[in-house]
Chains A and B, each alone.
Chain A
Amino acid sequence: MIHGQDVTLSLGGARILDDVSFGIESGTFTAVCGPNGAGKTTLLRTVNGALSPDAGRVVVDGEDVATLSAKAIARRVATVPQDTSVAFDFPVRDVVAMGRTAHRGRFERATADDRDAVDRALERAQVTELADRPVGTVSGGERQRVMLARALAQETPALVLDEPTASLDVNHQIRTLSLVRSLVEEGKTALAAIHDLDLAARFCDELLVVADGRVLAAGPPTDVLTEDVVERAFGTRVAVRTNPVTGTPTVTTLGSGTHTQDLTERSVAPSAHRPDGGHEE
């Protein structure tokens, strides 16, 4: 569905992606993980055509993204941005209806199809009851779902999400990712940058670990989330165990400083959670 071939890209003289290749199968949920500045967002931006690689290419649905018009891309890949703030106070429904841009000609009025797609998207993202509210008055978690609804209104096979959980509380994190998960079950292909390794492991089929502009590992979470890979990616010592509740890998950051021993002891205590949340932000 989405393939990157030897993608190299520099921004402002700094090489952000260095010969990156990846493949994302149709109907899967893939998380891009890695430390800050690893190139996660940049990688997503090559998939939705916001950036063109200096070398290599990104192919979506059999077409090289660089050769497609904005409209053609927007019919293949819908994007949920990280920054969901909207400067102008459009009603939620109007924001979601903007997802239909690529399906309408300049002089065409909204068709019944367009209106149905918007209604379905509002429903699916659980924001129907917010439809007439100005988007500036809804909470951060709700706005995230509004942006997801906008992306759903695009009716694309692929969905790109940039840090969909970054600014959300635990409840909304799970709610958002469950929603994406169920969309994938229904046939969509999703690619998301996700900071939280535990959440990525729990909800995604595949992980793509990037560090320093390169792909460090790719595959199912249980194969990829090894102490070795995570330590190399994040430059910190970690312990990887299986979460007794979800049955998926859980990563505990131990840190690399002088208190490591200390932390190791605490991390094995039964009630302990990540002591410092070190691998987030």
Chain B
Amino acid sequence: MHRWRRLGAWCGGLAAALVVACLASVAYGAVDLSPVVVAKAALNAVAVPAGLSLAVSSVGVPALGQVPWLAPDVQYVHPFAFAVPQSAQTIVVQLRAPRVALAAVVGFALASAGTVMQGFFRNPLADPSIIGVSTGAAVGAVSAIVFPGVVAALPLLGLVPFVGSLQVFAFVSALATAFLVYLVATDGGRTPVATLLLAGVAVQALLGAVVSYLLIQAGESVDQALYWLMGHLSNASWNDVVVTLPLALVGFLVLAAYARDLNVLLMGEEDAHALGIEVERTKRVLLAVSTLVTAAAVSVAGVIGFVGLIVPHVMRLLVGPDHRNLLPTSALAGSVFLVATDAVARSGPTELPVGIVTAALGAPFFLYLLWSQEVRAL
């Protein structure tokens, strides 16, 4: 069908652009590598699970002592073995690739959530953090930076493997903030979007004050806190990617399953109900999933603005308002955009937080669109 061919062409093109952007970004750095070496090193790192065996092992359980259980043991096969200098292999796989991969995942997540929020609020100014997710994450992260002792003492953090306590703290406080905003705006099972928007603005203002206060109290850690707030991808690790990627992908798939409902919601809530959409339930799903996706991105990368605002607008100009096309293309374009801006961010003599670059590139472009009347409504 026509729509599928067109969507396939767009997604194919954007995926190709993403691969090129990733290779170029990984190749670029203090030690310049050729894209061919990068591609070889990346392929060398590809591991295909080839077999699964179960080994009897035992695990210590309080009160029961050692309990035997079957530990899965996965065998991997590395299908590629190109000749690449060991130093280049390390630079690519250990140093640069995690950062570029995280940029791709975060851009994907923010652009997906931004697309859904703009449709959900029928408001061109909506972005992923409209209901306070980012500000909530900021409170959590800055608290963790300013009061490391308090955070370390919380038992909650040991439960989550892989990621640091800062990320967990940011994630939990992002979700808590969004949930608070939702509760404030919900009355009798209905959540009017206008109320949600206003509650989001009010809570963001309040938490903004909290963040400012924390910064005053920060003392020596103020630099670290400010750096987090500006949005950053340095120090990215494969663990960040491993935790964020599944949330972003699963969230995206759920949102994509609701793309048609989102189209109908654009007709207005009463119309949507008359057409057969369970409006409040659909809104809850969309809100919860975009919040989760945004929180996952923000808690590993800080507040990176403009990706979730501008990418959906640009893609809407290119592919139209139908969310079945807009959501996947925006998500991919968000990846490409953040990978590219992150490459720019670390190209100067001093590395900039990527949030500065997305805003510095994104805002003028957005102004240009406004000036050329391309963005009138959604």
Segment touching B, from A23-31, A97-105, A197-205, A244-252: A97-105
Taking CB atoms, residues of chain B closer than 8 Å to A70 are: 273, 276-279
**Contact A74 B321, beta carbon cutoff 8 Å:** no
Of the candidates A74, A87, A88, which one forms a contact with B274 in the assembled complex, judged by CB atoms under 8 Å apart?
A: A74
Taking CB atoms, residues of chain A closer than 8 Å to B266 are: 86-88, 90
**Contact A48 B276, beta carbon cutoff 8 Å:** no
User: Considering the complex, which residues of chain A in the window 83-140 have a beta carbon less than 8 Å from any beta carbon of chain B?
Assistant: 83, 86-90, 94-95, 98-99, 101-102, 106-107
**Contact A101 B122, beta carbon cutoff 8 Å:** no
Taking CB atoms, residues of chain B closer than 8 Å to A87 are: 122, 266, 377-378
The answer to whether the Cβ of A241 comes within 8 Å of any Cβ in the partner chain is no
In the bound complex, what is the Cα–Cα distance between A48 and B273 (angstroms)? 9
The answer to whether the Cβ of B267 comes within 8 Å of any Cβ in the partner chain is yes
Q: Which residue of B lies closest to A88 (CB)?
A: B321
Taking CB atoms, residues of chain A closer than 8 Å to B260 are: 101, 106
Taking CB atoms, residues of chain A closer than 8 Å to B377 are: 87-88
The answer to whether the Cβ of A209 comes within 8 Å of any Cβ in the partner chain is no
**Given A50-B270, A88-B321, A98-B263: A106 in contact with B276 (beta carbons within 8 A):** no
Closest-CB distance, B259 to chain A (whole angstroms): 10
The answer to whether the Cβ of A273 comes within 8 Å of any Cβ in the partner chain is no
**Contact A89 B271, beta carbon cutoff 8 Å:** no
In the bound complex, what is the Cα–Cα distance between A106 and B282 (angstroms)? 12
Q: Which of B122, B276, B320, B322 has the most CB of A within 10 A?
A: B276
In the bound complex, what is the Cα–Cα distance between A45 and B273 (angstroms)? 11
Taking CB atoms, residues of chain A closer than 8 Å to B274 are: 48-50, 73-74, 77-79, 81
**Given A87-B122, A89-B320, A106-B257: A98 in contact with B275 (beta carbons within 8 A):** yes
In the bound complex, what is the Cα–Cα distance between A154 and B264 (angstroms)? 13
Taking CB atoms, residues of chain B closer than 8 Å to A98 are: 263-264, 267, 275
**Contact A101 B264, beta carbon cutoff 8 Å:** yes
The answer to whether the Cβ of A258 comes within 8 Å of any Cβ in the partner chain is no
Closest-CB distance, B274 to chain A (whole angstroms): 4
**Contact B279 A94, beta carbon cutoff 8 Å:** no
**Contact A102 B276, beta carbon cutoff 8 Å:** yes
**Contact A50 B322, beta carbon cutoff 8 Å:** no
The answer to whether the Cβ of A232 comes within 8 Å of any Cβ in the partner chain is no
**Given A70-B278, A101-B264: A90 in contact with B321 (beta carbons within 8 A):** yes
Taking CB atoms, residues of chain B closer than 8 Å to A75 are: 276
Q: Which residue of B lies closest to A89 (CB)?
A: B321
**Complex interface bits, A47-88 against B, C-beta within 8 A gives 1, otherwise 0:** 011100000000000000000011101110111010100111
Taking CB atoms, residues of chain B closer than 8 Å to A50 are: 270, 273-274
Of the candidates A89, A90, A102, A106, which one forms a contact with B275 in the assembled complex, judged by CB atoms under 8 Å apart?
A: A102
In the bound complex, what is the Cα–Cα distance between A19 and B322 (angstroms)? 43
In the bound complex, what is the Cα–Cα distance between A71 and B281 (angstroms)? 13
In the bound complex, what is the Cα–Cα distance between A78 and B275 (angstroms)? 7
Taking CB atoms, residues of chain A closer than 8 Å to B278 are: 69-71
In the bound complex, what is the Cα–Cα distance between A89 and B378 (angstroms)? 9
**Complex interface bits, B311-338 against A, C-beta within 8 A gives 1, otherwise 0:** 0000000001110000000000000000
In the bound complex, what is the Cα–Cα distance between A107 and B256 (angstroms)? 10
**Given A50-B270, A88-B321, A89-B320: A74 in contact with B122 (beta carbons within 8 A):** no
Q: Which residue of B lies closest to A75 (CB)?
A: B276
In the bound complex, what is the Cα–Cα distance between A98 and B279 (angstroms)? 15
Q: Which residue of A lies closest to B324 (CB)?
A: A94
In the bound complex, what is the Cα–Cα distance between A106 and B194 (angstroms)? 27
Taking CB atoms, residues of chain B closer than 8 Å to A71 are: 276, 278
In the bound complex, what is the Cα–Cα distance between A49 and B278 (angstroms)? 11
Taking CB atoms, residues of chain B closer than 8 Å to A45 are: 270
Closest-CB distance, A103 to chain B (whole angstroms): 8
Taking CB atoms, residues of chain A closer than 8 Å to B261 are: 101, 106
In the bound complex, what is the Cα–Cα distance between A79 and B272 (angstroms)? 10
**Contact A101 B276, beta carbon cutoff 8 Å:** yes
Of the candidates A49, A69, A88, which one forms a contact with B378 in the assembled complex, judged by CB atoms under 8 Å apart?
A: A88
Taking CB atoms, residues of chain A closer than 8 Å to B273 are: 48-50, 70
Q: Which residue of B lies closest to A107 (CB)?
A: B257
Taking CB atoms, residues of chain A closer than 8 Å to B264 are: 98, 101
**Given A81-B271, A87-B378, A101-B264: A94 in contact with B322 (beta carbons within 8 A):** yes
**Contact A79 B378, beta carbon cutoff 8 Å:** no
**Given A87-B122, A87-B377, A87-B378: A101 in contact with B321 (beta carbons within 8 A):** no
In the bound complex, what is the Cα–Cα distance between A77 and B273 (angstroms)? 11
Taking CB atoms, residues of chain A closer than 8 Å to B268 are: 81, 83
Closest-CB distance, B21 to chain A (whole angstroms): 30
In the bound complex, what is the Cα–Cα distance between A69 and B263 (angstroms)? 20
**Contact B277 A101, beta carbon cutoff 8 Å:** yes
Taking CB atoms, residues of chain B closer than 8 Å to A150 are: 275
Q: Which of A49, A87, A107 has the most CB of B within 10 A?
A: A87
User: Considering the complex, which residues of chain B in the window 345-378 have a beta carbon less than 8 Å from any beta carbon of chain A?
Assistant: 377-378
Could you list some 10 contacts between A and B, CB below 8 A?
A45-B270, A48-B273, A49-B273, A70-B279, A79-B274, A90-B320, A94-B263, A94-B322, A99-B275, A102-B275
Excluding A49-B273, A98-B267, A101-B275, 4 further A-B contacts by CB distance (< 8 Å) are A50-B274, A87-B266, A102-B275, A106-B258
Residues of B within 8 A of A (CB): 122, 257-258, 260-261, 263-264, 266-268, 270-271, 273-279, 320-322, 377-378
